[in-house]
Amino acid sequence: MSVDAYERIWMWMASVLIAVFVGAILLTTGLQAVHPPSHIETIDPTKLDQDPEFGNPGVTVRADGTVVASVVAQLFTFRPDPIEVPVNKPVTFRITSADVIHGFEVVGTNANAMVIPGYVSQFTVTFTTPGEYHIACNEFCGVLHHMMAAKLVVK
Ligand code: CUA
């Protein structure tokens, strides 16, 4: 089978592009700059108030020393607000929604997840700069979507 020279060049270029894209994914994953925000953990959004974790959302320190921030997004607030976490320590955010799809973005950081009712979105971030950060909902969720915000305090 003979392959035309131009065809051969295009095949090589496409292969190189695919290699670059896959390499970029592996590189960013390896450096932890990008990681999938969630895992498959389901929760009944109509019974959050009876849930041992999300019934009283807040920041807790587990027995092994890891810091967990449990957050509930609900039209048009985040609970707790403000969220206080320690600096230079990995913080695992666990976020769920009581109603519709929201977003949870700590502006200026790579902490960013979609918050879907029925699921727990989880990711771990280490904040290295103390200060106050703005948390914004970045999924359109209703008439007051633009007002849905909270404060993160890193200290
Ligand atoms: Cu919640 Cu937009």
Domain residue ranges in the chain: 1-34, 45-154
Q: Is the pLDDT of residue 85 over 80?
A: yes
Percent of the chain with pLDDT over 90: 83
pLDDT of residue 68: 97
| Nearest atom of ligand 1 to the alpha carbon of 73 | 1
pLDDT of residue 37: 59
pLDDT of residue 29: 77
Helix (H) or strand (E) holding 103: strand 102-106
* pTM of the full structure: 0.78
- Contact assessment for residue 111 and residue 141, using Cβ atoms and an 8 Å cutoff: no
C-alpha of residue 73 to centroid of ligand 1, in Å: 8
- Contact assessment for residue 106 and residue 133, using Cβ atoms and an 8 Å cutoff: yes
Q: Is the pLDDT of residue 82 over 80?
A: yes
Segment 137-152 shows an average pLDDT of: 96
C-alpha of residue 119 to centroid of ligand 1, in Å: 16
Dump the DSSP string for 114-133. Answer: EE-TTEEEEEEEE--S-EEE
- Contact assessment for residue 104 and residue 71, using Cβ atoms and an 8 Å cutoff: yes
pLDDT digits (tens, 9 = 90+) for 25-67: 888 777 766 665 567 889 999 999 999 999 999 999 988 888 9
Token couple for 70: 């449990």
Name the closest-CA residue to atom 1, ligand 1. 102
- Tell whether the torsion through CA atoms of 11, 15, 18 and 24 is positive or negative: negative
pLDDT digits (tens, 9 = 90+) for 63-80: 888 899 999 999 999 999
pLDDT of residue 25: 85
Q: Is the pLDDT of residue 110 over 90?
A: no
- Mean of per-residue pLDDT scores for the chain: 92
Q: Report the top-level CATH class of 45-154.
A: mainly beta
pLDDT of residue 155: 93
pLDDT of residue 28: 79
HSE-up (13 A, CA, CB side) for residue 153: 8
Decide: 69 in ligand 1 pocket, CB within 6 A.
no
